[in-house]
Structure 1
């Protein structure tokens, strides 16, 4: 049976189209994907992303081993710093991409993809030695407020100076929810004791970070699951006409316009960060598991995840084959959609290095149909 987030009843009340995603019942859309997509690009949207894995790793003895598992140095980061990073196997292949936030001197909250939660838990537990690894997923909820108006909306529900927060900065604060006198509304989040902000003592504690998966300014708010419904309703009430609830359908089209990776699609255990074009998430001065394999790969030719736009009216879809100018099969599409902003078919897929330069003509299709496309620089939208 699929799991449900604390906001399931709210989604049903709002008329959401529900579907099963990575073992969770999640909203696909409330109105249309395009409406929700454009709301985020022009104003703001709120997403329930409580299905994402939330894992706490803490303990002084295991920090060195934990650090070795990530492609960026966790222990070299300041408290409250959120790092986008990878877990790799010894061959340099991606286990998952995730965000690790330093929440105390010897503690990190690791947010991973829902489908990879068990794999990440197992990998961490088997490799961190003296550190404790705790699955916090069910006990914590996560809301993402994204879009140009997200700052002014979130400012209306906390005393925190939102505009002073830098990108990939996180802090613990209190949110002004409707029922602040409930016994559990102010429940302490002791695991984030290292990054508490100076705010009024009333309200629900939450960890808020200036992060997102849409390419717009935005904030992700993690709080105790029991206070999620009040916070969800308060954000919608505060935002009014400036915000609308958004499902995972719009989350996917938004991330694809920015060429952000989707776990299980753009990587599935057989690709490296170099192939995925994410070497910015690698600290080459840091010693990490899988580094030797990546150093060897840097000296060779390897497949590249390219972005391309349809020349005509075609829309690329995952699983379609990619062909060269000579109509030779050279790859497969991993993500594709009709861009609501560009109003063109956009996609990503792995091809040989010789086909990866911007301006290269490709074809894609299924069966006997071939649709022309051109490789472009990432992302599709420049923010």
Structure 2
């Protein structure tokens, strides 16, 4: 009886082993087939993304940049670089929706996400061309303002001259209360916004070439090629503070001696407090012995201008120094802006983490220390 039970158990075990072997053998080709299907899918998707980048609509180009930038594959650097430079020197074509600044900004973002040094020549050349466009528009507006009389009593004027853009926060589409036509409000020339029109969908996003320049500098800061610092330094003298800010941050991320010397020179002459905060952060990020720049950031945390306080709070959040907890708590109690309070809370968390855990030499110190969304990333070679 016991022998029969034992034989029955052995037979059941053998059957189970045989069944498991059959399943394992049968699933092998299925797994290989799934892998082949995945390769075929991504090959087809990459081919379509390249076509959309060259010939697609605004939305198709944006989706293509997301696809190329997210996995950070260097194979997309050259197509993205060519498209970034495409039609920047043609005044007619660059006003079309597929060449809108929102598309160029996303292309620069994708190149920064990929992070390959081969993207640097494209980005630097694009910066020169975009800066020429910005300067052309700035001079046109200044010339129009010079021709305009300082005081006007007429209301029937042609809406074809550029003027000052005075934004209203109460309406979705800003207007100029002084009745002068503004090039910044491009929807004045049409009876209504038509979301079925691609150019209206592009312009309603509100991107301009200053945004393109900012994204170019952000990308250069992510790549951190030492040789690119010399080409970025002249933009510290740009007339627009927003561009000076991003140029300073890019130089701080690069962290070369050339970059730091240029930042120190500019700090002495810079008048805009928000830009001074960005420069001070960029210098102190690379050299913690220059305490005067840290003290400058703490002083700016008490400024009456909310933009300056925001820059100072962001700087302390990225520096993540335990000794900044007390001034951060003091600023938090006084802060009226919800946005600035949120950044201060994040800065306090980073500072407390710095006090709790000893610094890691590979992550937390030296000129290669870079934070991304509040967490340190491993420095590149």
Task: Return the TM-score normalized by structure 2.
Answer: 0.23
> Which protein has greater RCO, CA pairs closer than 8 Å, 6+ apart?
1
Bigger strand fraction: 1
Q: Is the radius of gyration larger for structure 1 or structure 2?
A: 2
Bigger helix fraction: 2
Task: Return the TM-score normalized by structure 1.
Answer: 0.23
